[in-house]
Every structure is written in structure tokens, then in C-alpha cells.
């Protein structure tokens, strides 16, 4: 299964969600590939053991200026069972610009074609997309079986959801007719605040109206989640509260792997 984690708004926790979903999938015995399709390279910085600026990565596999394939740029992740297609430095941003100006037919399918050759080696492929609807995100959605929308209980989440679904519809129409929505992750949720409760209800209503599934339970706003990501550590190896948080991500992965939420 290939999942693209998306939201055109930055700071909602896409890379953090990819990180903890990858860990949960590994604990479930899955072979996991993470593709860092965000020019910021956040997933690479926490999931790769030793990737330096200038090392080969996703940019090389997507650029017409390179002969590298995805298979050529794979690196081991920080956990057994995890492999990464990294991004380091400014190369991916350069390739994004290359894709913008390219008139080559089928450029949106470069990533999908590269993945076809290696996806059989993995049970789950997670693509961490950047905070924009740009050619890299379109490429990820074209390659994916389904999209995971990472959102928060904030004012802009409802509007952002509608904009992203417009993009998903366009990708379905032009590049990937089988693309589904695997679910919405309500991240950094503050259930006991008035704003958090109100906007969570609004987002839930908008999702239900669009027949979009929400992965449960919501991810609460906890410093332990960010701390684990930033230190490349695992919630399941922490204290009881950290393990409770790990169980949330495990529940998400279970729902995703069962496919019962896909629409």
C-alpha cells in the first residue's frame, strides 16, 4: 500500500505523523519505505542514520539530469525494517522547479514508474509531502493508492480540507483514477479548549458531508510526541503516557492496513 501524507498548510504535523506511523507499522511486522518528498527534508533528518547534504536522494531519481533510480538512492532507516528515500540540501527544490517548467508528457508519473520497480519489497510506502500543492505533491498523489490528510482543529482546517479535496479530484481525473482517501488524522488536538472542540466538530461535519473517514482516536497535543520525533526515539519505549500515545498511532496503522476507511 502506498500512502501520500498531505496538507498544503505547513506546521500541521505531516512529518511527525509519518514518523510515528512508520514506527507503528514496523512494530506490527511490516516492511516500511518512507519517501521524503518534502524539500525541507524533515523526515530524512529524523529517520535516516547518516545522510549528508549532497548525498543522492529523491531528487536524483526524479530528475532527467540523473540516471539514478529509487533503487539506487535507498538508505537504511533508524529502525530495522525501515528504508528511506532521502532528501537533503536544495536538490529537491531544484527538481520541483524542473518539473514546473518541463513540457514532457507524463512527468507527473515519474515517481509512480520508479516505485513500480521496488514497491513489491515493502508492505507499506509512506510519502511525506511538502506544504504545497506543487509538482512534487502531484507526483506523490499520482503514485499513491490513497491519501492521508493530516489536519488540526483550527480555523483554517475546514477550508484547507476543501482545497485539498479539489486537488485530489483533479488528480483522479487526470492522472490516478483509483486514488482514494485513506483517512484524516486530527493532529495536535486540544479537546478541552473551546476552540479545539468547536473546530474539531466543524472539521468532523465537513468530513462527514464529503464522506471522508477520520482515523481514530485523535492525536492529542503532547510535547512527548514532538520530543520523540526530534530525538529519533520511539514512544513505545517511553513511560506509560508515551506508550498510550504510541497506541494511538498503532490504531491508525491498523485502520489503514485494513483498508476499511478508504473511500
* Domain assignment present for 42: yes
pLDDT reading at 258 higher than 80: yes
Q: What is the mean pLDDT of the chain?
A: 89
* pLDDT of amino acid 164: 87
- Contact between 136 and 99 under an 8 Å Cβ cutoff? The reply is yes
Question: pLDDT category, 261, cuts 50, 70, 90?
Answer: very low
* Domain assignment present for 71: yes
Parent domain of 36: 7-257
Q: Model pTM?
A: 0.94
C-alpha count within 13 angstroms, C-beta hemisphere, residue 259: 7
d(C-alpha 259, C-alpha 122), whole Å: 17
* Domain assignment present for 1: no
How do residues 140-191 score in pLDDT, each as one tens digit? Answer: 999 999 999 998 766 666 677 778 889 999 999 999 999 999 999 998 877 6
* Domain assignment present for 2: no
* Domain assignment present for 151: yes
Neighbouring residues of 206: CB distance < 8 A, sequence distance ≥ 6: 158, 161, 162
Q: Write the CATH number for 114.
A: 3.40.50.300
C-alpha cell at 250: 498503532
- C-alpha distances (whole Å) from 185 to each of 34, 90, 240, 256 are 18, 29, 23, 11
Number of domains in the chain: 1
Cβ-based neighbour number of residue 29 at 10 Å? 8
How do residues 8-56 score in pLDDT, each as one tens digit? Answer: 877 788 999 999 999 999 999 999 999 999 999 999 999 998 888 878 8
How do residues 81-136 score in pLDDT, each as one tens digit? Answer: 999 999 987 788 888 888 877 767 788 899 999 999 999 999 999 999 998 889 99
* Domain assignment present for 16: yes
Amino acid at each position: 500500500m502506498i500512502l501520500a501524507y498531505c496538507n498544503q498548510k505547513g506546521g500541521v504535523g505531516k512529518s511527525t505523523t509519518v514518523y510515528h506511523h512508520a514506527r507503528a507499522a514496523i512494530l506490527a511486522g511490516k516492511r516500511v519505505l518512507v519517501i521524503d518528498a518534502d524539500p525541507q527534508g524533515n523526515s530524512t533528518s529524523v529517520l535516516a542514520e547518516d545522510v549528508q547534504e549532497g548525498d543522492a536522494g529523491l531528487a536524483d531519481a526524479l530528475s532527467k539530469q540523473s540516471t539514478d533510480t529509487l533503487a539506487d538512492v535507498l538508505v537504511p532507516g533508524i529502525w530495522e525494517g525501515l528504508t528511506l528515500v532521502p532528501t537533503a540540501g536544495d536538490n529537491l527544490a531544484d527538481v520541483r522547479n524542473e518539473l514546473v517548467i518541463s513540457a514532457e508528457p507524463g512527468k507527473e508519473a515519474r515517481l509512480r514508474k520508479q516505485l513500480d520497480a521496488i514497491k513489491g519489497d515493502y508492505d507499506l510506502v509512506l510519502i511525506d509531502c511538502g506544504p504545497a500543492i506543487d509538482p512534487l505533491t502531484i507526483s506523490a498523489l499520482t503514485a499513491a493508492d490513497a491519501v492521508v490528510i493530516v489536519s488540526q482543529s483550527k480555523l483554517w482546517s475546514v477550508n484547507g480540507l476543501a482545497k485539498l479535496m479539489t486537488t485530489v479530484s483533479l488528480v483522479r481525473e487526470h492522472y490516478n483514477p483509483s486514488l482514494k482517501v485513506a483517512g484524516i488524522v486530527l493532529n495536535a488536538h486540544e479537546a478541552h479548549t473551546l476552540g479545539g472542540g468547536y473546530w474539531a466538530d466543524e472539521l468532523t461535519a465537513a468530513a462527514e458531508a464529503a464522506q471522508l473517514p477520520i482515523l481514530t482516536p485523535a492525536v492529542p497535543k503532547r510535547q512527548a510526541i514532538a520530543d520523540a520525533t526530534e530525538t529519533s526515539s520511539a514512544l513505545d519505549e517511553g513511560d506509560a503516557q508515551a506508550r498510550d500515545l504510541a497506541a494511538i498511532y498503532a490504531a491508525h496503522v491498523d485502520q489503514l492496513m485494513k483498508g476499511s476507511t478508504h473511500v
